[in-house]
Amino acid sequence: MTHQIDLRAAVDAGIISPDQAAGLVAFSNRALLKTVADTSRATDDRETFRLIGGFNDIFVTIGIILLLAGAAFSLDSVFGRSMQLQFAIMAGLIWLLAEYISRIKRMKLPSTVLALGFLFCISSLLQIWLTRRFDFAEPDNALAALVLLDQGQIAGLISFSVILVVSGIYFWRFRVPVQAAIIALAATGLVTVAASELFMDEVARGQVQLSNVADVVLLIQRLLVLPLICGLVIFATGIYFDFKDRNRLSTLSDAAFWLHLISAPMIVHPLFILSSGQDVGFGAIEPGALATAGLVSLMIVIVLISLAIDRRALLIPTLTYFGALGIYRIVENASDNTGIPAFALVLLVIGALIIIFGMGWQRIRGIVIGSILPDRWLAALPPIKA
């Protein structure tokens, strides 16, 4: 950058005019301005993922892990035979740490570690209580197996209900984004166990014959619809959070990221199984043309929605399944002709697509979304950054 004092001295001495001095300053600053603009554009093109606020987050997280490990070993030496007391004390310690680290300091990575640690303690307490409450011994006959299944369903309802309530309270208190995903998964588990109990009532009434493989496969197909529906609900909730925070500034945006991350496999995987045909242990599910059309249509919709709401996290499972189902069949003939393994060609295609989307995300958004959506819809979506 040209030194301002030298330029003033040159102007005062009549060597150059003031306009020439201004032109020299602009010329010398052009590279700096271009670098700043390029940096700003590159920053704007990143999808916000506020898991780590800085190296201090990593530093504090290491301290938390060491502290909790030391506390666990100390409690084990003092209360060796009382595991439930140890987990209860650890849960209380984690809660106290979260009161300062999560609620006051708002540190991202340490808060996530504390939230997962608290969930582990609660889950361990539940497991100890359920093991003592129910007899999960290996069944000797069909009647014992039905009793065991009934007990497992009750235990599942209790477990998912407790985790759902505890995670909801923890999220309300500390606003840790990963808890949104835990709440969604617990709710999905609760719905699945409740629905499986209804399906088993059909078995008890004789509407489904366990000795008939076709009936069992049909029952599994019906169960596959549950994660699909739950995934769509979770996905819609994430989109709702995104619309509430289009500039990605609040905790809602971080919670939406986790919801999108878990919803995509829940949506795509059941359709993938139903469309491609899978061995489910009791028999093979026949590929369905309707499911295949639904899967391909859904993948296209997910790509468009990902572009619209500016969420690249949705594309990873989508492109993976697309490669497994669609691209594999396309490149299989090419593999036979070239001798290159089909999976290698799939990796090449999927990798190229990810790089293309990653490097030109905002430009693709502008071309696709900017051309098909009306202006009033675009105003409600995350802004397209040129």
Question: pLDDT tens digits for 339-359?
Answer: 666 667 667 777 777 787 777
Confidence of residue 261 (pLDDT cuts 50, 70, 90): confident
CA distance to 190, 202, 210, 215, 236, per residue, from 207 (Å): 24, 5, 10, 9, 34
Beta bridge partners of 284: 279
CB 71 within 8 A of CB 13: no
* Structural domain spans, the chain: 1-44, 52-207
Confidence of residue 301 (pLDDT cuts 50, 70, 90): confident
CB 263 within 8 A of CB 318: no
Segment among 71-75, 170-174, 277-281 with least mean pLDDT:
277-281
The listed range with the strongest mean pLDDT (126-140, 144-158, 224-238, 271-285) is: 224-238
| Exposed e or buried b per residue across 123-152, where buried means at least 16 C-beta atoms within 10 angstroms of its C-beta | ebbbeeebeeebeeeeeeeeeeeeebeeee
CA nearest neighbour of 167 among 125, 235, 116, 106: 116
pLDDT digits (tens, 9 = 90+) for 177-219: 999 999 999 999 998 888 877 666 655 555 555 545 555 556 6
CB 68 within 8 A of CB 94: yes
CB 181 within 8 A of CB 259: yes
CB 115 within 8 A of CB 176: yes
pTM of the predicted protein model: 0.72
